[in-house]
Amino acid sequence: MDRFVIHGGRRLEGRVTAASAKNAVLPILAACLLTDEECVIRGVPRLEDVATMARLLETMGVEVAWRGRTVRLRAGRVSERAPYDIVRKMRASYYVLGPLVGRLGRAEVSLPGGCAIGARPVDLHLKGIEALGAEVRVEHGYIKARARKLRGAGMVLEGTNGPSVGATANTMMAAVLAQGITEIRGAACEPEVADLAAFLNRMGARVEGAGTPTVRVRGVSRLRGAEHRPIPDRIEAGTLAVAAAMTRGQVEIRNCRPDHLGVVIETLRATGAEVTARRTSLAVSGPGRPGPVIIGTAPYPGFPTDLQAQFTALLCLARGTSVVTESIFENRFLHAMELARMGAQIEVTGRTAVIKGVARLQSAQVMASDLRASAALVLAGLVARGETVVRRIYHLDRGYERLEQKLAGLGARIERLAE
Ligand code: EPZ
């Protein structure tokens, strides 16, 4: 297992380019199951999760051909089964459920199970496809769905923790080939949902309102192959922006959509960072110690839960006390204990962390636990004087393509060592 060795204390300066959004790429790759014609997805980041999705699709019979960051997929004859040994590696494998039910009328997808940050139930995914007429059974750890012909339907798809990105995406992908009109109320509004809809519409689907709480789908009889370049990764861009602010650096982030980062930019400015937003780039500088803020994660367009850990790391250095409330996932403060080992003063009670800022963090050996917690520890290592070692970097590689190279390109002293 790889580890990062970081010598902190250097300001980050220069330009860096964000990749395409992992959380748009994953459902878009699965959506290629909806046609037997060739689809071409460009600018795809070479991430562990993307490789896992490609491997899953290949085991199901999809032809997958890579050339750099362009991937060609052709789902001729496909199996309806997504096996446990792949799904257990990446819960987003469940994105094949909707397309399989839509295209084949049947699916056998292993239940994804929970993960470090929470139970991650899939009840809303099942509610969505059942509303379209699928019969769903859960047997021996597999979701088994059958539908002679899916019919459009109206439904409310949000749960006690708000809308579900995954359930919205899966239901949309099942509805595009259903007979009639589907209306999803309480739909997730994340930009990645809108980007998936844009791809589906390029394939000949008729999806309206994606990115708003009400999505309407008019079913069509078949879909054709299409080409697409997914939207930039707002979470990677946000992570790099925090790195600039924390190190009191000056960084320009390219291939970025500031219009997808509204609340994040406001929050960064509230800490005292200077942020200049242009149409496709973000310039961030951190003149001094950040000021304290109050953050509450929420469904889009609220503060993204996927940037909570990174901002928690930033607020460890604040001139005062901050409060961060995590309303989306029940266990998403795993980074707090590791940051405390670096001298941070964080008190977590339930879904709220109270962070008393300190003047500096101390280098230490720390352990990554999940994707975004790993990013928070790397950010802390960039500012802690001395040598910080972040172990279990495989968590980070799931969602960031060679992050150490991007940070080193901005002046960080960071290297990857194989354990
Ligand atoms: C997506 O996960 C993202 N993953 C997550 O990013 C992100 O944190 C999350 O959306 C929220 O924005 C991908 O897109 C691959 P949800 P997803 O369904 O779809 C509850 C990262 O770091 N819920 O929107 O699984 C759920 O427990 C990852 O890149 C149900 O109750 O999240 C949570 O409390 C981490 N029943 C809330 O809804 C369901 O059937 C939001 O979850 C589904 C979800």
The answer to whether 380 touches 339, Cβ cutoff 8 Å, is yes
- The residues spanned by each domain of the chain are 2-19+232-418, 22-228
Ligand 1 pocket residue status of 120, Cβ below 6 Å: yes
Residue 346: phi and psi, rounded to 5, are -125, 130
Nearest residue by C-alpha to atom 3 in ligand 1: 23
Nearest residue by C-alpha to atom 28 in ligand 1: 306
pLDDT tens, N- to C-terminus, the chain (419 residues): 899 999 999 999 999 999 999 999 999 999 999 999 999 999 999 999 999 999 999 999 999 999 999 999 999 999 999 999 999 889 999 999 999 999 999 999 999 877 888 888 999 999 999 999 999 999 999 999 999 999 999 999 999 989 999 999 999 999 999 999 999 999 999 999 999 999 999 999 999 999 999 999 999 999 999 999 999 999 999 999 999 999 999 999 999 999 999 999 999 999 999 999 999 999 999 989 999 999 999 999 999 999 999 999 999 999 999 999 999 999 999 999 999 999 999 999 999 999 999 999 999 999 999 999 999 999 999 999 999 999 999 999 999 999 999 999 999 999 999 97
Residue with tokens 């250097």: 10
Residues taking part in catalysis = 115
Nearest residue by C-alpha to atom 10 in ligand 1: 165
Instruction: Please report the sign of the dihedral spanned by the C-alpha atoms of residue 349, residue 352, residue 354, residue 360.
Output: positive
DSSP 221: S
Ligand 1 pocket residue status of 329, Cβ below 6 Å: yes
Nearest residue by C-alpha to atom 6 in ligand 1: 306
Q: Which atom of ligand 1 is nearest to the CA of 329?
A: 34
Nearest residue by C-alpha to atom 17 in ligand 1: 166
Strands 81-82 and 106-110: parallel
Please give the distance, rounded to the nearest whole angstrom, from the Cα atom of residue 327 to the centre of ligand 1: 12
The answer to whether 132 touches 174, Cβ cutoff 8 Å, is yes
Beta strands in 280-412 (DSSP E): 281-285, 294-296, 321-325, 345-349, 352-356, 365-367, 386-391
DSSP 43: S
Ligand 1 pocket residue status of 196, Cβ below 6 Å: no
**pLDDT computed for residue 96 by the predictor:** 97
Residue 236: phi and psi, rounded to 5, are -65, -45
The answer to whether 126 touches 101, Cβ cutoff 8 Å, is no
Q: Which amino acid is at 29?
A: L
- Closest to 197 measured CA to CA, from 155, 163, 221, 230: 230
Q: How many CA atoms lie within 13 A of 360 on its CB side?
A: 12
The CATH class of 22-228 is: alpha beta
Q: Which atom of ligand 1 is nearest to the CA of 159?
A: 31
- The structure tokens listed for 342 are 């670096």
Nearest residue by C-alpha to atom 18 in ligand 1: 164
- Per CATH, domain 2-19+232-418 is 3.65.10.10: yes
Ligand 1 pocket residue status of 126, Cβ below 6 Å: no
Ligand 1 pocket residue status of 306, Cβ below 6 Å: yes
Ligand 1 pocket residue status of 129, Cβ below 6 Å: no
Ligand 1 pocket residue status of 305, Cβ below 6 Å: yes
Ligand 1 pocket residue status of 124, Cβ below 6 Å: yes
- Closest to 310 measured CA to CA, from 268, 277, 349, 276: 268
* pTM, entire model: 0.98
- The structure tokens listed for 118 are 């929470």
DSSP string, 169-203: HHHHHHHTTSBSEEEEES----HHHHHHHHHHHHT
Q: Which atom of ligand 1 is nearest to the CA of 49?
A: 15
Distance CA 329, CA 347 (A): 18
Distance CA 21, CA 45 (A): 8
